[in-house]
């Protein structure tokens, strides 16, 4: 039964806010299941580090549309396609270093045809540009392509063979090169050919259209190069395709990709909305053709990639597991519950009405939360220090990981017990909790992702939300407000007297071990019911066709660091392990 686990659930790290108007700040540390030294993103797609040369490639949607150029906007819309390209079998094998040499040689031969078409397209675009500065910029980009061809020639010299003679053009290469040269020649739907364009301004449109068909390829290669480079050990130069990776992850290539985008923005600045729509269409068509190019590379080796088999709803059931805090939400549920407790607490000791639960004053409650937070912080750091290995593991260490998770689970349980004994969650009104849940902001794409599963009649799926949240009512009200009534929620629960919480918690899901047990039980049910797929869905990227994740890792529990490409790393680990076995 294939199982895909996309994101370990984060452990809550509660920090009292100092000199802040907010009541509490919350930081998170994920499960140690994937606590490798992975350089930062993910988000998915995971953007390159924000350097000067790569700023335009950042995928964050936080920048307002007014600040984005057209090229950046098109790239953000191509998020799914860029992730799909990253997970193609060819790229996974290349990144892991296990790609067979004959497959790489075939790719280099196809890419040479590709680059020659690029050089020709730049030449045609330069002829159409009416601005001297633009002409110079296009000429520089063409020279960069010629340098890439030199790199390909160096591969050929090393191998001592004529790849062009040994590898004929495949259909995917022909599709992209024909599309590119047709665009550069003005053969675009609804556009006159260059020979029929009366003014220099009209000819400039062809240059803009041509850049629209070329820019996604440059940005995609820059993106893939950075992503692979981030996974490699900087002290290990033994990777078989290190030269290729260094080229496309280099600052010079990142700068070339950015230069393409800047030039596209400049050439399209005076175009109409209809003409910009044409460029966007060309951009996305180029992305699709580039993915077809990667998928067309022949492989005779088995490859581990995060893909799902064809779904037969009569025989199969897809089980999707999702975390809640920071996976579905922007703010952690513990912060919400703490704020409800403090805001609704009495200012001072008050006479308690009949059938009301006695609560501590807000000042005392605030101090109690601060003490709990401080103790959690100190003990969490001690726990992490005690279970982290002093040396980098050479292989997957299951027993050590199990022991570490058991220790971490015991720590989480002790922390929850202190919360109960402190009575800080005593006296919360169920209606206040539900209202807070209804107003809870979910991650972009979260609601749409789950609705696409619920509303798909051709999909036999069962969605389970597993969370350490202290109060399942908060989760259910948040999901119901988004129309997600069909999701199964598994979390801890408050106990109530009437409409008020007693401060007690019914403990159901407190730790990583609890989640593993839930998975194992459902695995048995799945096998008995012919449920063939168990998938844990996590993080802030929501897509059925390609799922990426953010992993946050903090050794000290104080600093947060975004991590990218867990799925890729799992695939690479499997590839390397298989390669060693083959050797």
Q: Are 515 and 466 in contact (CB under 8 A)?
A: yes
* 508: three-class secondary structure by DSSP: coil
DSSP 163-182: HHHHSPPPHHHHHHHHHHHH
Split at pLDDT 50, 70, 90, the class of 353 is low
Class of domain 71-295: mainly alpha
pLDDT surpasses 60 at 30: no
Q: pLDDT of 501-515, one tens digit each?
A: 999 999 999 887 887
- What mean pLDDT do residues 325-352 have? 84
Query: Mean pLDDT across the stretch 456-466?
Result: 87
Examine the pLDDT at 348 and tell me if it is beyond 50: yes
Phi and psi of 462, rounded to 5°? -135, 120
Beta partners for residue 533, in sequence order: 318
User: Considering 29, 93, 217, 446, which one is annotated as catalytic?
Assistant: 217
Strand partners, 562: 552
Catalytic-residue membership of 290: yes
Q: Give percent of the chain above pLDDT 90.
A: 28
SS3 201: helix
> Is there a contact between 260 and 211 (Cβ–Cβ < 8 Å)?
yes
- Asked if 516 and 406 touch (Cβ cutoff 8 Å), the reply is no
Q: Which residue has the tokens 């040479």?
A: 112
Q: Is pLDDT at 366 greater than 60 in this prediction?
A: yes
Catalytic hit among 81, 126, 290, 510 = 290
Give the other-Cβ count within 10 Å of 96's Cβ: 26
Give the C-alpha separation, 126 to 148, whole Å.
19
**Taking 50 as the threshold, does the pLDDT of residue 371 lie above it?**
yes
CB crowding 546-560: b at 16 or more within 10 Å, else e: bbbbbbbbbeebeee
Between 542 and 102, the more confident residue is 102
Q: How many CB atoms lie within 10 A of CB 192?
A: 14
CB atoms within 10 A of CB 179: 18
- Can you give the pLDDT at residue 160? 61
pLDDT of residue 391: 75
Per-residue pLDDT tens digits for 161-216: 665 555 677 899 999 999 999 998 888 876 655 555 556 667 788 888 999 999 99
Least confident of 389-393, 438-442, 479-483, 486-490: 389-393
Contacts of 39 (CB under 8 A, 6+ apart): 49, 230, 231, 563, 564
d(CA 84, CA 307): 10
Strand pairing class (426-429; 500-506): antiparallel
- pTM (2 d.p.): 0.51
Return the domain boundaries, the chain. Answer: 3-38+313-582, 71-295
Tell me what pLDDT residue 199 has: 66
Does pLDDT of 24 surpass 90? no
């Amino acid at each position: 039964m294939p199982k895909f686990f996309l994101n370990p659930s984060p452990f809550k790290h509660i920090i009292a806010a100092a000199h802040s108007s907010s009541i509490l700040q919350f930081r998170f540390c994920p499960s140690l299941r994937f606590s490798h030294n992975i350089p930062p993103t993910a988000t998915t797609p995971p953007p390159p580090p924000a350097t000067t040369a790569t700023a335009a490639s950042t995928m964050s949607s936080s920048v307002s549309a007014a600040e984005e150029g057209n090229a950046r906007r098109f790239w953000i819309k191509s998020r799914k396609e860029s992730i799909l390209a990253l997970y193609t079998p060819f790229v996974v094998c290349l990144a892991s270093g296990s790609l067979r040499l004959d497959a790489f040689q075939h790719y280099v031969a196809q890419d040479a045809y590709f680059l020659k078409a690029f050089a020709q397209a730049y030449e045609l675009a330069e002829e159409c540009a009416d601005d001297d500065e633009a002409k110079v910029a296009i000429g520089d980009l063409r020279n960069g392509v010629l340098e890439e061809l030199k790199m390909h020639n160096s591969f050929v010299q090393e191998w001592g063979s004529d790849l062009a003679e040994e590898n004929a053009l495949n259909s995917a290469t022909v599709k992209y090169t024909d599309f590119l040269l047709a665009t550069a020649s003005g053969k675009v739907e609804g556009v006159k050919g260059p020979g029929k364009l009366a003014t220099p301004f009209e000819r400039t449109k062809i240059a803009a259209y041509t850049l629209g068909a070329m820019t996604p390829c440059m940005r995609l290669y820059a993106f893939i190069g950075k992503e692979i480079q981030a996974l490699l050990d900087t002290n290990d130069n033994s990777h078989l395709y290190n030269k290729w990776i260094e080229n496309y992850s280099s600052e010079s290539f990142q700068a070339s990709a950015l230069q393409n985008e800047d030039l596209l923005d400049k050439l399209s600045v005076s175009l109409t909305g209809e003409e910009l729509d044409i460029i966007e269409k060309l951009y996305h068509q180029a992305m699709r053709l580039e993915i077809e190019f990667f998928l067309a590379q022949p492989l005779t080796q088995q490859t581990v990639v995060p893909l799902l088999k064809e779904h037969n709803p009569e025989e199969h059931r897809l089980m999707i597991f999702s975390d809640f805090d920071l996976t579905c939400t922007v703010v952690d549920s513990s912060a919400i519950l703490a704020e409800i407790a403090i805001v609704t607490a009495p200012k001072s000791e008050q006479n308690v009405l009949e059938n009301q639960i006695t609560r501590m004053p807000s000042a005392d409650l605030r101090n109690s939360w601060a003490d709990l937070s401080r103790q959690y912080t100190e003990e969490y750091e001690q726990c992490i220090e005690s279970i982290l290995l002093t040396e980098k593991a050479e292989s997957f260490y299951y027993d050590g990981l199990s022991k570490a998770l058991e220790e971490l689970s015991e720590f989480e349980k002790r922390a929850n017990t202190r919360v109960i004994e402190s009575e800080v969650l005593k006296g919360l009104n169920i209606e206040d909790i539900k209202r807070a849940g209804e107003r809870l902001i979910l991650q972009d794409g979260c609601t749409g992702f789950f609705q696409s599963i619920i509303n798909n009649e051709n999909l036999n799926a069962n969605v389970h939300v597993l969370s350490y949240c202290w109060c399942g009512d908060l989760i259910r009200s948040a999901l119901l407000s988004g129309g997600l009534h069909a999701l199964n929620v598994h979390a801890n629960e408050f106990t109530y007297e009437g409409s008020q919480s007693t401060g007690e918690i019914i403990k159901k899901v407190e730790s990583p071990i609890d989640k593993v047990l839930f998975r194992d039980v459902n695995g048995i049910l799945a096998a008995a019911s012919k449920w063939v797929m168990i998938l844990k869905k996590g993080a802030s990227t929501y897509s059925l066709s390609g799922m990426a994740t953010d992993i946050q890792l903090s050794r000290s529990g104080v600093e947060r660091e975004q991590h990218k490409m867990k799925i890729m790393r799992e695939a690479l680990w499997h590839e390397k392990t298989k390669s060693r076995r083959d050797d």
